[in-house]
Structure 1
Amino acid sequence: MSQICWLGPQDSFPNPLLSSDPDQSVPGLIAVSERIYPNQLLQAYQLGIFPWYSDEQPVLWWSPDPRMVLKPQDFRCSDSLQKSIRHFCQDTHAKVLVDVDFGAVIRACATSARKEQDGTWITHEIMDAYTAIHEQGYAHSIALMEHDEMIGGLYCVAIGSMVYGESMFSRKPNASKIALAALSAWCIQNQIAMIDCQQETKHLQSMGAKPISRQDFLRQLQASLNPSNIVKSWKFDKQILTHWL
C-alpha cells in the first residue's frame, strides 16, 4: 500500500492512461484519500477513475482492467422484460421521472438488500458527494413510479458524451432493468456509444455488458470529453421505452 499515493483535497490523480497500477498486488487501485471532495470526484471520472470502498476503509479510487461496459444498442431485452416494459408503458399510473428526487433514488440504492452482499458501498459520504455533483448537473437519476410509489431506478454520472452507471435498485421484478432500458434507449437517441458499468458481474453480462481493456476504455473516454460531444438535455419520460417494443 505504501506505493499508492494518498491524495489531499487539492492533489491530482495519477493518469491511468499514462502509468500502470502503482501496486501490482492490488490491480486497479489507483489512489487512496481520506475524504471525497466533489471537484476531485469530477476529476476522477474524467480520468476513468471511480471510488469504491466501505465504511471502515479510507476512500479507495479504482480504474480496473478489464472494464465492464454496455453498448446501449447491445442492451439485452428479453421476452419477459419486453412484456414488463409493455405493461409499464400501458399503465396510466406508471411514470419515469428523471432528476426529480435524486436523493431518494441514491438512498434507495444504498438501502436495498442485494444477494451475496453484506452492507453497502454507498456510504453517507458517497451520497453527499454524488448529490453535490448532481446539483452541478453531472449526476442524474431515473425513478420508476407506480401510483406515486418508487418501485425501482438508478443513478449515474454523465460527463461529455460518456455515461457512468453507478447503482440500481428494484422493489418489483424487473424494475431496475426497465430503468436501465430507459437509460439505454436515451443513450441511443443521443448517440452515446457506451455506458460504463465499472466492474464485471454476471448480472451485467446477462443484460449485454461486456469487458474491454482499460486502454480501450480510456481512449474512448478521452474522445467523449470533446466539447462538441456534450449532451445537454436529460429530459425524457416512459415513452422512450417504446424503443424496445
Structure 2
Amino acid sequence: MRLEGKVAVVTGGAQGIGRAISETFAKEGAKVIAVDMQEATFDTEMIKGYKLNITDRDAIAKFVEETVASYGHIDILVNNAGITRDALINKMTEDMWDMVINVNLKGVFNMAQAIGPHMMEIGKGSIINIASVVGEFGNVGQSNYAATKAGVIGMAKTWAKEFARKGAAVRCNSVAPGYVNTDMMKTVPDKVLDPIRQKTMLGRLGEPQEIANAVLFLASDESSFVTGHNLSVNGGLRL
C-alpha cells in the first residue's frame, strides 16, 4: 500500500472530492483525519471525522496539537475545503468576496502555517492544495473564487521553496480539477453542463475518484521528485 504508516489531514473531507480523497488514502494504508464543518462518518476505522472551521486559528492550533499527540506525526495535508459565492463583479458584495477569500485562501494559509513547520521538523511531508481550472483560466461570475484558486497555486509554489529549506523533504504541489460529478453538480441542468462537456477534449465531466487518484500520486513517495507543480486534471477543458 502506497501510504502505509502515513497520517493524512484532508480538509473538506466529509463529502465530494474530499471524501473520495479520504477514502482513497485509507485504502492505501493511511490514517486519515477528515476535517470538515459538518460531522462525518465513514465505514472504516482508518478515517476519523473532525469538526473544524479552518478560519479559526485557535481551533486549528488545538487540532494540530491533538493530532500530533495522538498519532505522533502528520505526513500529508490536503487543502481541499472551499466554497463559492458567485456573481458578476458589479453585483458581487463585499461579504461574498470576503467569505470566499477567508475560507478558500486564508483557510489554506492557516492550515499550512500550522502543519508545514511540523513537517519541516520531522524532515518530510507532502502538502497538496486543491485549486481549480477556474484559477488557471478565470470564469465569468467567479472573481472571488478564481482569485483564491490562483492564489493556492501560487502559495504551493512558494511553500515548495520555503518548506524545503534546511534539507527538509517537504513537497508542496497543487491539483487543478475541471468540472467533476459531485452531488452539487448533479443538480445542474444538462443545458448548462453540455457546453462544458463540448469544451472538454474527453467529452465528459470528471469523477471524484479521478481527482483522488491524482492527489494520491502527489501524496505518495511515487512523486518524491515532484514539488512546486500544478497538476491539471480537467479532461482537456479550456474555458
Q: TM-score normalized by structure 2? A: 0.30
Higher-helix-fraction structure = 2
TM-score (norm 1): 0.29
Q: Which has the higher contact order (CA 8 A, sep 6+)?
A: 1
Q: Which has the higher strand share?
A: 1
